[in-house]
C-alpha cells in the first residue's frame, strides 16, 4: 500500500503545476526587470500607463500582468487597472524586504540556461555552468559586469533577509574579535557589531570587494566603522589570524567538500585559543524528513532546490547537520551545536 498523501489536485494536475513553475518564475523575473512594482508604488494604474512607463506593448503587457495577478503579486481592478499586493511590494526596488534583483537574477541566461544542463550535472557530479557558458561562473561574472551587478544586488537582497534573525538567535557578545571571512560589503558584520558594543570586527574578502565595503560601514550605526578592520586576500591561502570567532555566511555552500575543507582548515589555523568557527547556512533537514521545519526556517524543498542550484552553478552544495559535522571533522574541527536563526542557522564548531 502506498503512503497516504495530503488531499489536493489529482497527480496529473500536480505534475502540471510542478513542471510549469519555471514559466511562473520567468514571468515574475520579467515583471521585476521591467520595474512593474516601482511603477505601482504610488497606487493603482491602468495598463496603458504602465506600458508607456516601462516601454512595453500594452496588450501583451496586460497578459503578463494578468499572470502576475493570478500569482498573487497584483490585484486587477475594473478597466484593466492594476495595484500591488503585499507580496508584490517585495518586487519594489525600495520596498520592504525587496527581492527585485533576486527575481531578476533567476531569469537571466546566466542562471536559467545553466539549469538546462542539470541532467549533465546529475550524471557527472560536475557543475554545468562552464559547459553552457564557456567559462566558470566567477570568470563569467568578471567578463559580464551587467550580470555581475544584478547578481551582487540579488545576493545583497537575499543576505539582508537573514541578518536580523541570525543576530537575534546567536550570542555574538562572547567574542572580542569576529573575523567575517568572505564577508562581502560587511552588512552582517556591521549588524553584529551594532548589537555588541564591545566586539571588534575584521572584514575579510577579495581586494575589489573590500574596496567597495566603505559605503555599508559608513552607513552603519555610530562606532561600528571604528571597530572594523578591513583586510583583503584569498581565503584558500590564509585568513587573518587571532580571531575569537570566524564567521562564514553562505560561503561553504558555494564549494564542494575539498575546497571547503581548505577554507575551514585556514580558519582553524588562524583562530585564537578557545575560538569558534560559525557557519551561517540554510541547513538541509536530515532524511527522511519527518517533521515540519522550525518557525521561520525554509521548507525542505526550498533548501533542496538551493542545493541543486549550487551544484549546476559552481559545484557547491547545501549540507545537513550530519554532513557539516563530517566536513568540520575532516578540517580538524568539531561541531558543537546548530542554532536555528530563521531561514539560516548558525553551525558552531570548535577545535577538534
| CA 28 – CA 71 distance, rounded (Å) | 9
CB distance 95 to 89 below 8 Å: yes
CA angle 96, 100, 106 (to 5 degrees): 140
State the DSSP code for 72. T
Q: Which residue of the set 133, 135, 144, 253 is catalytic? A: 253
| CA 202 – CA 257 distance, rounded (Å) | 25
User: Which three-class secondary structure state does DSSP give residue 111?
Assistant: helix
Nearest to 310 by CA among 166, 81, 159, 137: 137
57 is catalytic: no
- What burial letters (b/e) apply to 116-143, b meaning 16+ CB within 10 Å? ebeeebeeeebbbbbebbeeebeebbee
Give the DSSP H or E segment for 15.
helix 11-19
| CA 343 – CA 352 distance, rounded (Å) | 27
Enter the C-alpha cell of residue 4.
497516504
Enter the C-alpha cell of residue 158.
537575499
End-to-end CA distance of the chain: 46
Give the DSSP H or E segment for 164.
helix 145-169
State the DSSP code for 135. S
| CA 228 – CA 295 distance, rounded (Å) | 33
Residues belonging to the active site: 253
Amino acid at each position: 500500500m502506498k503512503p497516504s498523501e495530503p488531499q489536493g489536485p489529482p497527480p496529473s494536475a500536480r505534475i502540471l503545476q510542478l513542471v510549469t513553475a519555471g514559466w511562473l518564475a520567468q514571468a515574475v523575473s520579467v515583471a521585476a526587470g521591467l520595474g512593474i512594482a516601482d511603477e505601482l508604488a504610488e497606487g493603482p494604474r491602468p495598463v496603458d500607463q504602465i506600458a508607456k512607463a516601462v516601454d512595453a506593448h500594452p496588450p501583451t503587457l496586460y497578459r503578463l500582468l494578468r499572470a502576475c495577478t493570478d500569482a498573487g503579486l497584483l490585484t486587477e481592478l475594473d478597466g484593466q487597472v492594476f495595484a500591488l499586493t503585499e507580496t508584490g511590494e517585495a518586487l519594489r526596488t525600495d520596498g520592504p524586504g525587496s527581492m527585485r534583483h533576486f527575481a531578476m537574477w533567476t531569469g537571466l541566461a546566466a542562471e536559467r540556461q545553466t539549469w538546462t544542463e542539470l541532467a549533465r550535472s546529475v550524471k557527472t557530479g560536475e557543475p554545468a555552468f562552464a559547459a553552457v557558458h564557456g567559462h566558470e561562473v566567477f570568470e563569467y561574472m568578471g567578463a559580464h559586469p551587467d550580470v555581475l551587478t544584478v547578481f551582487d544586488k540579488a545576493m545583497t537582497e537575499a543576505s539582508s533577509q537573514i541578518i536580523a534573525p541570525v543576530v537575534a538567535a546567536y550570542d555574538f557578545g562572547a567574542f572580542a574579535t569576529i573575523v567575517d571571512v568572505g564577508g562581502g560589503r560587511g552588512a552582517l558584520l556591521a549588524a553584529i557589531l551594532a548589537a555588541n558594543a564591545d566586539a571588534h570586527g575584521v572584514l575579510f574578502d577579495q581586494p575589489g570587494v573590500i574596496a567597495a565595503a566603505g559605503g555599508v560601514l559608513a552607513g552603519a550605526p555610530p562606532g561600528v566603522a571604528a571597530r572594523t578592520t578591513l583586510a583583503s586576500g584569498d581565503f584558500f591561502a590564509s585568513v587573518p589570524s587571532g580571531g575569537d570567532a570566524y564567521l562564514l555566511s553562505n560561503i561553504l555552500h558555494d564549494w564542494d567538500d575539498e575546497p571547503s575543507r581548505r577554507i575551514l582548515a585556514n580558519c582553524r589555523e588562524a583562530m585564537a585559543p578557545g575560538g569558534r568557527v560559525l557557519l551561517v547556512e540554510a541547513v538541509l533537514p536530515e532524511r527522511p524528513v519527518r517533521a515540519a521545519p522550525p518557525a521561520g526556517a525554509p521548507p525542505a524543498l526550498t533548501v533542496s532546490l538551493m542545493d541543486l542550484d549550487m551544484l549546476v552553478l559552481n559545484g557547491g552544495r547545501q549540507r545537513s547537520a550530519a554532513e557539516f559535522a563530517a566536513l568540520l571533522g575532516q578540517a580538524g574541527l568539531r561541531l558543537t551545536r546548530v542554532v536555528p536563526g530563521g531561514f539560516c542557522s548558525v553551525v558552531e564548531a570548535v577545535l577538534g
